[in-house]
Chain A
């Protein structure tokens, strides 16, 4: 029985198992955080209860880009928000009848299928502010949790 579990050399197998556990702990604790999507605000791109990973290193060496789907929250949180970056620092945005305008130009958003008539007055973001919104614009604006996040609250990019 012991041979079936541990192979010919128990000590080597234990070392391999330890290294593997350590590798998984580092990988899933500090690099790729497994997440389960809860809620409907990212429909139709991400279904409720779907599984994914957040790359926690993605913004260590580069800036967040428009269109990135990101995890928003504080490091250490078990629950994080999943939103898409729509407006970048320093840009002015407004929302008119559900269409987002950035610096006066309409934003092409192929990931949005349905649009409620959201409205928002023009606003300019500060140097470290990002506007993040979910893809489900078919929800009423008051029911959709979105807004401006600081750079340090963008924990990482969603992997796929």
Chain B
């Protein structure tokens, strides 16, 4: 029993100290969802800080092209525009909670790019029920960090 527990602890520690690409990408996506979320009492400094942190998960020329339910096509390009959009959303909506439900990650052979098939759930103060969506996320390794270069959504339900 002790040997099994020790082995499990070593395995866990190894992954914590030396995370592989999939672990790093998974962590990056979960942190992005956390930075996209906000509570109703978020102050102006926190809004700016978290919007900057959110933009930091993306490459400089990243593109987001999504069509959320009930909205038209949304296209955001570049880190600056992502930060501005985040600030705008935080001013327009009282609260937003984004959670990552499922992540399937495929890292390219050269380990310089990756694709993630991600299920997200978003609940804003304007909605009566959560909005679940599947999104395709492309990532690139930039200076050792995995950054998001493109997000597109694939609605489960089509109109």
Contacts and interface: CB of A to CB of B under 8 A. Distances in A.
Nearest to B129: A39
Interface residues of B, number: 20
Contacts of B127: 143
A79 B70 contact: no
B157 A145 contact: yes
Interface string A120-160: 00000000000010000001001101111100010000000
Main SS class of interface, A: loop
Given A74-B156, A142-B70, A147-B155, A79 B134 contact: no
B102 interface: yes
A108 interface: no
B119 A139 contact: no
Contact of B119 (A48, A74, A132): A74
Given A132-B157, A146-B157, A77 B102 contact: yes
Contacts of A78: 101-102, 119
B110 interface: no
A142 to B, nearest CB: 5
A147 B158 contact: yes
B124 interface: no
Contacts of A143: 70, 127-128
B113 interface: no
Interface string B135-159: 0000000000000000000011111
Contact of A145 (B69, B102, B104, B134): B69
B19 interface: no
B159 A147 contact: yes
A80 interface: yes
A44 interface: no
A149 B129 contact: no
Contact of B156 (A38, A40, A72): A72
Interface in B4-33: none
A41 interface: yes
Nearest to A41: B129
Nearest to A142: B70
Interface core residue of A48, A78, A149 (most chain B CB under 10 Å): A78
A41 B158 CA distance: 17
B31 to A, nearest CB: 18
Contacts of A79: 99, 101, 119, 121, 130, 132
Interface of A: 38-41, 48, 72-74, 76-81, 83, 132, 139, 142-143, 145-149, 153
13 contacts: A73-B156, A74-B102, A74-B119, A74-B134, A79-B101, A79-B130, A80-B132, A81-B132, A83-B157, A143-B128, A145-B157, A147-B155, A149-B157
